[in-house]
Amino acid sequence: MAMATRILLRELDTPNIHKMDVYMKNDGYEGLKKAIGMKPAEVIDEVKASNLRGRGGAGFPTGVKWSFIPQTEPVKYVVVNADESETGTFKDRQIMENNPHQLIEGAMIAAWAIQATAVYIYLRGEYWDVAAGLDKCIAEAEKKGFVGKNVLKSGWDCPMYTHLGAGAYICGEESALLESLEGKLGQPRVRPPFPAQKGGGLYAEPTVVNNVETLANVPWIMVNGAAEYKKFGTEQSPGTKVFCLSGHVKKPGNYEAPLGSLTLRQLIFDEEYGGGVPGDKKVKAVLPSGGSGPIIPATDEALDMPLTYEDMQKLGTILGSASIIVMDEDTDIAWVAAKVTKFFKHESCGKCTPCREGTYWLDKVLDRIMADQARESDIDLIANIAKNMQGVTLCALGDFAANPIIHTVKNFPDDFKRHVGETAVTAGGSARRGAAAPAGD
Amino acid sequence: MPNTVKIYIDDKEYEVPAGKNLVDVAKFYADNDIPVFCYHPKMNPVGMCRMCLVEMGSIEKDRATGEVVLDPAGKPKIRWFPKLQTACTTTVSDGLVIRTGTSQVEEARENVVEFLLTSHPLDCPICDKGGECPLQNLTMAYGPGTSRMNFEDKIDLDKHVPLGDLIYLDEERCIQCARCIRFQDEVVGDPVLAFHERGRSLQIITVSEPGFDSYFSGNTTDICPVGALTTEDFRFGARPWELTNIPSIDPWDAAGSNITLCVRLERDFGGKAAIKRVMPRQNELVNEIWISDKARWGHHFTRAEDRLQHPVVAGHNVTWPNALTVASDKIKAAGSDVAAIAGPQMSNEDLWSLRQLLAGVGSERLGAWPPTHAGADLLAQVGVGSGTNLGTLGKGDAVLVIGSDLEEEVPIWRLRVKRAHDHGAYLVVANARPTRLDQFGDECMQYGVGEAAEFMAELVKTPVGKQLAEAENLVIIAGAEGMTLDGSRALMQAAANFLISTGHVGKANNGLLSTLPGANGMGLHYMGFTPETTLDITQNPPKVLIIAQADVMADDPDAQEWLSRVETIITFGLFPDGASERAAVSLPIQSFAERDGTFTNGERRVQRFYTAQGPMGEALPAWQAVQRLGAVLGQGQAKPSAAAVMLEITQNVPGWEGCRFSQLAKVEKQFPDVGGHDLYYGGTAYKNFGGLGVQIASAAEQGKVSEGKVTSPKAAKAKILALPVTRLYNRERVLRASEADVLGPRIAQPFVEINSADAKKLGIKTGDTVDVKMGSAPALRARAHVDGIAPVGTVVVPRHLSDTAAPLAPAAVEISKVEG
Amino acid sequence: MLADKYADRIETAFAKYPTKRSAVMPLLYIAQEEYGWLSPEAIEEVASLCDLDPTQVRSIAGFYTMYRERPKGKYWLQVCTDLACALKGADEFYEQLLEELGLDHENDTTEDGTFTVEHVMCLGACDRAPMLQCNFHFDPKYDRLDMEKARKLIEEWRSEAKKK
Ligand SMILES: Cc1cc2nc3c(=O)[nH]c(=O)nc-3n(C[C@H](O)[C@H](O)[C@H](O)COP(=O)(O)O)c2cc1C
Ligand code: SF4
Ligand code: FES
């Protein structure tokens, strides 16, 4: 079962891989050297051939994304999405803390592939220490000629900078991220033009935005080739993936494994992964993609489904960023819905009417439900509000905010019914996970 | 139609211009009001409110052949987007298909309205916008009948947040469409409004000093699609449905902005109609849909209690016949030694009548006031071509603004020049000192005081001049700041020469403009009044001088001297002033709001204004008062109407043939259609039902014009030169009445700007009180403002801030610090 | 004045971007560090450095939750109470922490100005819940918390604060 080769969490196999010398001794920056020996278009073709899919959530093929960049434009950017703010996601942090050079190298390969003018790493503001660490690594890489002026004597200049956000989940959405990087409110842009197009990217220049984990895969692909990479994972989901496991498991943490090589059951219960549920309780539900993806009941079918992009779809949910939150049998799913709604209400940027007003309204009704003050019709009401928020907003946050309601009400109706009408228990009576979330925002 | 595309709206085909916004196109060509809140046709779409969702697709074409793919039924196959799309963010393209009436679309609209109403206070009965509110209208049209939101769940916010002294924000009513923010940022270029916080907590804020500091702030209340922004002036003033909308023209400057006077019968005004508010009226060629705050709030002077309401002879109120007899006796006694000076607030009809009066006694001495800007004759020759629309200038075009502080002199032009710049026009700003327009200039150049004409003449040899010369279209806006009248003429001639020699005359979007003071500077020219004659009159005073709507004493420190050499003064005016006090006869006339007539704007567009407000006392329209005087002098009966006077003008003044009132009143549908009685754009007064006006052709359009000689006057030599400049808000007699009302707080206390180097020599610091003394005239006392901006050797003196007149043109002065 | 005191850091920030505006976020952090919070004067200063209208800068400060527009304590404790942490009892931990310091949801800063306690959304350390961040710094000492651990930390900070 155990993975001999880890691509991303390499510190587990090679201690101190975060240090330049250790990294260099272990194929470090070989991928970049190889890339710079190739034509940019060839690099893109190789990444395309690997069928690497974006790890930021949407799973878009990375090579294809790079190929959208018009080569004729003189100014172009690579922006690394290190905003990692989805509830239950903490993989990018680990990569940047423990294997930073691999991200830097991957970003530089992407930059070479599109002949970028500069690379910006946009980190969520809370990753203050991570950014400081990265800054040091970038400086080292610059000294070695991997970053900055005349990269590896190719005549190509490409500096790399970190930029700290300041507490806004929405800045993980790529166009909001670009706005934020330009010193504006982090509100998503109208598309088209898309970031890859002139007029749509950073400072209106064509821009590739990739997740940290996505780019950290790239050096390996360059060194070992697309064909080798595809040996991991499935046809549609090649490569390895870091699974962020949290919630009711004995050993929460990041676990890397080839896509499709693990089922949810293995991830939650196997000793080398989650090690089971505290108190050896049953699993009631799983959120495979953080707060924003559809929740699923922990049926045998679900637990035995391999973790891939395509298989999760069969269950009516998504793999997304693979932020797997486990909930045991005592969890009140209505409370989960209320909790996640608070998150989205707090994080809605406010630009689109349905998202701005809908999250506020949902939160109000859910407060009522959690206080056992609601009517039975309130359950239909939240389901309907959520439905009306779907598919009508500028960015996916509107849909993300609708998901927790739609899928909790659909899959766990009894958890809501317990709070309303005749059967309502007394307010706040549903034990620790039923306690109303802190008020305010 | 060149450059058109075929689109399909609700299964009907339309051929429409390419590159336009879908919402605008649907409305204009298909009469289909796609509902919007955040979209505004004058600003970039942001797709925020989600009200404009439609089903959208495109006709499928074979990639290889380009042929339209047909479905089994033989109809073009349509590839639909899986989700609804926002119409407002869509530019029309060939084969675009939309459906707006389907149940899916209707449901989406209902949902958006429901979402908006969840946090709306629904206080329509006490809301200024009630009755002309897009939210109200769209709720009626598309909204749900009842609310599913518990009332106690509504958010409680502040309802009376002053954004400065002029605009109030009701946070509960705001629907976060960002129109006001985007207006200040995109249209004005003064981003003094912004959102604060996020999500449902998003609110409008400003921290500028003074609050919401902008000359255009009032426009935000028009484009606000709810009653969240209201004006201090109109708040709770009236309900929109009680108002009658009368078309009018902004009386303040050369732009000639089309406005609407919204009037209501007022008990406090003797039951007569009174202006309750002033709104913009759409004229795409002139002001689009924007007006300055001065146009919006400067109307209070028309009802000021100290208006002149009766004819006055020797300090006593008399009847009109009495007054006219006295005046006519004086004129008769003078023979032909009669002259007239008229201000630029006089209508074309007034000026024509005055000219006829003088002609009747054999005089042609017609002076234009103030005698600051020369070259109106050159504007008649090479002014911007017919059909010019500053709003369409963009890439490849160029604008030069020289010798003017445009934002202070003609704010709407400043707004439109900024937009031209945004759209890619090359903007060059040149002056003897920096101005606020500099922030938008691609090139900001400075020349020595008094050297504007030389600068202009030399410009052609520079790279900047070359770029201007090579522009596809070129407009030069010339002011007269820091110039004598001769200097102004020299600059105008040099600018005209530049335009002629580079082929930028005689066609639309090319030619010369000048910041002539007042609303009818060009009318003065066409009716024969010139500033040169004015100077001649001041030097060789006539026996009888008629002064019409010109506050000569407040404008010219020398006026007292030259007036003292006139035997008899006859004034026509709105207010008692320095000249009327010295007049043998002082006759009360009506403001633009009380009568009808026409002004000719800086682009030579003759535009009608209509009677809106009840009259003050016995004041008459100036043309009528003048013609009655003519009748007493035996010059024939007064004409029955302003229209009849204009008819006479059309028969006598070359180029004016097409300006009969009926012609001037013509309107046609304008694109984008923002003014209709539609459901959403708001500001019912946008609709233009008063006429788009008629532009008089320039000489260059009719034939050849040739360059003229530039005679630059010698630059004045002085230790310290006073540089008079114009401020939008000042204490001019006419504005002063509004001071007590809304604009008061915005009028600066008297100040002068002194260069830091000069100030050091003179021992003056910012905040010191100084006297600026010129010749024998009384000193102008003001606060010193020491900066690095005033040109060395000058003191910048804003006109009309102090009771003492600033010089008309740059003049040697002495400055002294007032101790204590 | 920030411009003098932090000249180097400001210059570094400006050097990163092609527009001055992009430096507004780094500069706001500097201002917050210097003044403890973003007072109107601090906003004014950042605005003039970035050639922005103060209104625009205030807008940025208001949008992002890590900028604070009212004074805060020396130790700014942010407790994650988001779903993954809450499943591990973070809500209760947050309430207890408030109680310990005599605070509540509205009054989040101790009277002596030593502590500010806020609950925040996911901090990307869900595997170490409950956890908090102090003055934006995360330390292994601050994870898998309970009140016993927390009291120790508070003690440490208190005595550190006294020393300063
Ligand atoms: C509301 C929202 C939040 C997002 N947050 C993140 C994030 O924190 N990190 C991330 O990499 N992608 C995030 N994304 C996805 C990005 O928009 C984008 O798809 C991704 O950065 C692309 O990178 P990839 O192709 O490497 O996956 C978010 C998207 C949305 C709509
Ligand atoms: S869906 Fe929500 S978060 Fe996304 S742009 Fe719209 S308002 Fe902002
Ligand atoms: S989203 Fe199109 S009008 Fe608001």
Q: Do B205 and C58 touch (CB under 8 A)?
A: yes
Q: CA B550 to CA B547: how far, in whole Å?
A: 6
Asked if residue A375 is part of any domain, the answer here is yes
Q: Which ligand sits nearest to residue A353's alpha carbon? A: 2
Is residue C129 classed exposed, middle or buried when 0-12, 13-18 and 19+ CB atoms within 10 A define those classes? buried
Ligand 3 center from residue B36 Cα (angstroms):
5
Burial code (b: 16+ CB inside 10 Å, e: under 16) for B766-782 equals eebebbbbbeebebbbb
Torsion of the alpha carbons at A336, A341, A344 and A345, rounded to the nearest 10: -150
Residue list, ligand 1 pocket, CB within 6 Å: A 54-58, 60, 62, 65, 81, 83-86, 170, 172-174, 209-211, 214, 395-397, 400
**Inter-chain residue contact C55 with B198, CB threshold 8 Å:** no
> How far is the C-alpha of C46 from the C-alpha of C40, rounded, in Å?
10
pLDDT at B743: 86
Q: Ligand 2 center to residue B674 CA distance, Å?
A: 28
CATH of domain C2-63: 1.10.10.1590
Angle, alpha carbons A325-C128-C79 (nearest 5°): 95
Q: Give the number of residues written for chain C.
A: 164
Contacts of A358 in chain B (CB under 8 A): 115
- Contact by Cβ (8 Å): B274, B296: no
What residue ranges of chain C are covered by domains with CATH 3.40.30.10?
A: 75-163
Q: Are residues A40 and A166 in the same domain?
A: yes
Q: Which ligand is nearest to the CA of A354?
A: 2
Indicate if A310 and A337 belong to the same structural domain: no
Closest Cα in chain B, distance from residue A363 (Å)? 10
Residue A225 lies in a domain: yes
Q: What percent of chain B has pLDDT over 70?
A: 98
Q: Determine, for residues A360 and B114 on separate chains, whether the beta-carbon distance falls below 8 Å.
A: no
Question: What's A47's domain CATH number?
Answer: 3.40.50.11540
Task: State whether A362 and A282 are in the same domain.
Answer: no
pLDDT at A435: 36
Does the beta carbon of B764 sit less than 6 angstroms from any atom of ligand 3?
Answer: no
Q: Whose CA is nearest to atom 22 of ligand 1?
A: A210
In a domain, A163, yes or no: yes
Distances (CA, A) of B284 to A198, B16, B631: 31, 19, 42
Q: A3 in a domain, yes or no?
A: no
**Which helix (H) or strand (E) segment is B134 a member of?**
helix B134-142
Is the pLDDT assigned to residue A358 strictly greater than 60? yes
| Length in residues, chain A | 441
Pocket mutation for ligand 1, best pick of A77, A79, A81, A395 (most atoms within 8 Å of C-beta): A81
Check whether residue A223 and residue A245 sit in a common domain: no
Band the pLDDT of A437: cuts 50, 70, 90: very low
**What are the residue ranges in chain B where pLDDT is below 50?**
1
Which of A83, A87, A210, A211 for mutating ligand 1's site (highest number of atoms within 8 Å of CB)?
A: A211
pLDDT at C54 over 70: yes
pLDDT at A423: 60
Residue C79 confidence (pLDDT): 96
Please give the residue range of the domain that contains residue A141: 10-229
- Test B200 with A350 for CB contact under 8 angstroms: yes
Which residues of chain C approach chain B closer than 8 Å at the C-beta? 40, 43, 52-56, 58-59, 62-63
Strands, E assignment, B215-350: 229-231, 244-249, 258-265, 273-280, 312-313, 316-317, 338-342
For residue A155, is it within any domain? yes
Considering the domain architecture, whether residues A53 and A200 belong to the same structural domain is answered as yes
List phi, psi (to 5°) of C117.
-120, 125
Mark yes or no for CB contact B194/C55 under 8 Å.
yes
The predicted pLDDT at position B677 comes to: 61
How do beta strands B443-446 and B426-431 pair?
parallel
- In this complex, the residue of B195, B196, B208 whose CB is nearest that of residue C53 is B208
pLDDT classification of A421: cutoffs 50, 70, 90: confident
pLDDT at B740: 61
pLDDT of A422 > 70? The answer is: no
Residue A81 belongs to some domain of the structure: yes
Strand ranges in B272-357 using DSSP code E only, listed in sequence order: 273-280, 312-313, 316-317, 338-342
Using CA positions, which residue lies closest to atom 8 of ligand 2?
A: A349
Q: Is B585 on the interface with A (CB under 8 A)?
A: no
CATH number at residue A421: 1.20.1440.230
CATH 1.10.10.1590 in chain C, residue ranges? 2-63
Closest Cα of chain C to A212: distance in Å? 14
Residue A190 pLDDT > 50: yes
Select from A356, A361, A363, A390 the residue to mutate for testing ligand 2; criterion: most ligand atoms less than 8 Å from CB.
A356
Do B84 and A364 count as a contact with CB atoms less than 8 A apart? no
Q: Contact B196/C58, CB-based, under 8 Å?
A: yes
User: What percentage of chain A reaches a pLDDT higher than 90?
Assistant: 94
Per-residue tokens: B127: 């809301």
For residue A431, is pLDDT > 70? no
B698-726 pLDDT, tens digit per residue, is 999 998 899 999 998 887 778 999 999 99
By DSSP bridging, strand B544-548 and strand B568-573 are parallel
What are the helix (H) ranges across B675-803? Answer: 699-702, 733-739, 756-762
| pLDDT reading at A428 higher than 50 | no
Question: From the CA of A171, how far away is ligand 1's center (Å)?
Answer: 9
Q: How far apart are the first and last CA of chain A?
A: 44
What fold, for C75-163? Glutaredoxin (3.40.30)
Task: Kindly give the number of the ligand 2 atom that is closest to the alpha carbon of A173.
Answer: 4
- What pLDDT, on a 0 to 100 scale, did the predictor assign at position B240? 86
- Nearest atom (ligand 2) to Cα of A347: 3
Cα–Cα distance, B466 to B443 (Å, whole number): 13
Q: Are residues A303 and A358 in the same domain?
A: no
**Mutation target vs A (from B36, B50, B197; most A CBs, 10 A cutoff):** B50
- pLDDT number for residue A430: 42
A20 & A129 share domain: yes
Q: Which residues of C touch B191 (CB under 8 A)?
A: 52-53, 55-56
With CB atoms and an 8 Å threshold, state whether A348 touches B176.
no
The partner residue sitting opposite C58, judged by closest CB among B190, B194, B198, is B194
| 0.90 surpassed by pTM | yes
> A257 and A319 share a domain?
yes
Same domain, A346 and A314: no
CA distance A424 to chain C (A): 23
pLDDT, tens only, B498-535: 999 999 999 999 999 999 999 999 999 999 999 999 99
* Torsion angle in degrees (nearest 10) through CA of A250, A254, A257, A258: 130
Contacts of B575 (CB under 8 A, 6+ apart): B304, B306, B307, B308, B551, B733, B734, B737
Same domain for A133 and A70: yes
Q: Does residue A275 fall inside a structural domain?
A: yes
Residue A380 has pLDDT above 60, yes or no: yes
Please state the domain count of chain A: 3
Please give the distance, rounded to the nearest whole angstrom, from the Cα atom of residue B175 to the centre of ligand 1.
28
* Partner residue opposite C59 with nearest CB, options B190, B195, B208: B195
Radius of gyration of chain A (CA): 22
A90 and A14 fall within a common domain? yes
Give the HSE-up count for residue B798: Cα atoms under 13 Å, Cβ half-sphere. 23
* Same domain (yes/no): A133, A269: no
CB of B86 within 6 A of ligand 3: the answer is: yes
Choose one of A328, A343, A364: the last residue of a domain.
Answer: A328
Per the model's pLDDT, the better-predicted residue between A398 and A434 turns out to be A398
- A252, C23: Cβ pair inside 8 Å? no
Cα angle vertex B201, ends B198, B203, to 5°? 85
Other chains touching B, judged by 3 or more CB pairs under 8 Å: A, C
On whether residue A2 sits in a domain, the answer given is no
